[in-house]
Amino acid sequence: MTRPDLPDLAHIRDAEKRIRPHLGETPLLQVPDLNAALGQPLWLKCESLQRTGSFKVRGALNWLLTASADELKAGLVTVSAGNHAVGLAWAAAMQDVPLTVVMPEGSSPLKIRRTRALGAEVIVQGTIQQAVAQCHELRDQKGLTLVHPYNDVRIMAGQGTVGLEVLRQRPDVDWVLCPIGGGGLISGLGLAIKAQRPEVELIGVEPEGAATMFNAWQKQDASASLDSVNTWAASLAPAVVGDCTYAASRQVVDRIVTVTEAGIREATRRLLTEARLYVEPGASVGLAALLENQVPPEPEKNTVLIITGGNLDLEQVSHCL
């Protein structure tokens, strides 16, 4: 398999200049209660406070701002369980570009409502595999341009701007724990961080029921697909990664760990109550890895948890309280 071209530090810095007039830097917060409970100095990179409620808007906006007239003229299509849908809908509305989003059944009602409110057409279709198939059919039938939620170098470069901010805010970071869904965030973030401080340890975290990147690593195959995914953390549940994110992850991710559903619920509860942050389950897996000792706490390690999103349905709160 040909190794894909990946964004470098210059591409990621260019993406930051491009999106910065529209998107602010998110805070890196300390939570004394969590630090005391874990015996670990933690900093939370609060992408849950980003515009549209997640990091996804960074990559979506970078893609839109670098798109050609030919890519935009017939409109866009994508498939997403939610955060990419909302972020791309916001960016597309800003550019007055029509967008169709296919979302699998069981997607967050909140994310469906927000995507529609931003002007996108939303189709709710079957499993994630069936939603992907429907997305590709629409692309081919209508001549739409597919904006992949993660396996795209422009998307990855936009997500990589999180890494630039982390190093500016916490230059002495030792560990970064980052959730993995399709791998766009950890790839872009890792390329940005490792280019400047290769000694930083980058740890990917996946749900046990959706360990998609870990499965691809084990099989040494970017196209290796899970037969099914089963996790409350729907934002981390694609069935397959991609050639770009697989290649980048093998280059920059030091290890991948998995966490249980009980651990995700407990970590979400702790962030809601002790950190006073309104976060979704997929954003909580880094803390779950520490709580479940998948990453044993080391008090001398300055650790950043990437809190990826805050688009949590109110009805879901009861699952972890």
Answer yes or no: do 184 and 240 share one domain.
yes
Q: Is residue 290, in this structure, part of any structural domain at all?
A: yes
- Let me know whether 165 and 193 are in one domain: yes
Q: Are residues 186 and 311 in the same domain?
A: yes
Task: Note whether 185 and 88 are same-domain residues.
Answer: no
- Answer yes or no: is 228 within a domain: yes
Q: Positive or negative CA dihedral for 178, 41, 169, 90?
A: positive
* Chain segment 174-210, per-residue pLDDT in tens: 999 999 999 999 999 999 999 999 999 999 999 999 9
Chain center to CA of 213: 13
User: What ranges in the chain are assigned the alpha helix state H?
Assistant: 9-19, 32-38, 56-65, 69-73, 83-94, 109-117, 128-142, 153-169, 184-196, 212-219, 243-252, 261-273, 285-291, 314-317
Instruction: Quote the pLDDT of residue 320.
Output: 65
* 169 in the same domain as 25: yes
Q: Which of 114, 146, 178 represents a domain boundary (last residue)?
A: 146
92 and 229 belong to one structural domain: no
Residue 52's nearest CA partner among 314, 308, 316, 311 is 311
Residue ending a domain, among 89, 123, 146, is 146
**φ, ψ (nearest 5 deg) of residue 236:** -115, 30
List all residues 6 or more positions away from 240 whose beta carbon is below 8 Å from its beta carbon: 212, 216, 223, 224, 225, 226
| Distance, first Cα to last Cα, the chain | 46
Q: Looking at the structure, do residues 156 and 295 belong to the same domain, yes or no?
A: yes
Are 222 and 297 in the same domain? yes
167 and 207 in a single domain? The answer is yes
CA distance 70 to 45: 36
In the beta sheet, which residues pair with residue 307?
46
Region of 304 (left: φ > 0; alpha: ψ -120 to 50; beta: rest) is beta
**Inside any domain, residue 304:** yes
82: CATH = 3.40.50.1100
At 153 the three-state DSSP class reads helix
Burial of 204 per CB tally in 10 Å (0-12, 13-18, 19+): buried
Instruction: Please report the pLDDT score of residue 313 as a whole number.
Output: 79
pLDDT digits (tens, 9 = 90+) for 233-264: 888 988 899 999 999 999 999 999 999 999 99
**Same domain, residue pair 101 and 50:** no
Beta-carbon contacts of 314 under 8 Å, excluding residues fewer than 6 positions away, are 110
**Number of domain units in the chain:** 2
Mean pLDDT (the chain) is 94
**Residue range(s) defining the domain that contains residue 224:** 9-54+152-317
Neighbours of 219 (CB within 10 A): 11
Whether 141 and 177 map to the same domain: the answer is no
- As a whole number of angstroms, the distance between CA 53 and CA 147 comes to 19
What is the model's pTM?
0.95
Question: Confidence class of residue 294 from pLDDT cuts 50, 70 and 90?
Answer: very high
158 domain-assigned: yes
Q: What is the pLDDT of residue 164?
A: 98
